[in-house]
């Protein structure tokens, strides 16, 4: 998975996921969903990146 090795990754519905770009090249993240997005019922749950239960280290900073 990387600039020279594009990769398709299937994440089943209900599985928490996230990503971290390592390097200076932009990453292209594309989501395919099984239903249209409904802002009144987003059907999503969020886990904060700094939640100690998941053990993620942000490293050099977070930019969004």
| Each residue's pLDDT tens digit, 27-51 | 888 888 888 888 898 877 888 888 8
Q: What is the pLDDT of residue 61?
A: 59
Residue pair 50/56 in contact by the 8 Å Cβ criterion = yes
Domain ranges across the chain: 1-64
Could you tell me what percent of the chain has a pLDDT over 70?
Answer: 89
Query: What is the 3-class SS of the chain, one letter each residue?
Result: CECCECCCCCCCCCCCCCCCCCCCCCCCCCCCCCCCCCCCCCCCCCCCCCCCCCCCCCCCCCCC
For residues 62 and 40, the model is more confident at 40
Q: What is the pLDDT of residue 64?
A: 55
Q: Tell me the pLDDT band of 59, cut-offs 50, 70 and 90.
A: low
Instruction: Determine the average pLDDT of the residues in 1-25.
Output: 81
Q: 35: which residues sit within 8 A by CB, 6+ positions away? A: 43
């Amino acid at each position: 998975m990387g600039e020279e090795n594009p990769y398709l990754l299937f994440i089943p519905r209900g599985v928490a996921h996230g990503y971290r770009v390592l390097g200076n090249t932009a990453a292209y993240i594309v989501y395919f969903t099984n239903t249209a997005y409904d802002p009144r019922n987003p059907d999503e749950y969020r886990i904060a990146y700094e939640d100690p239960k998941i053990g993620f280290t942000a490293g050099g900073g977070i930019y969004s």
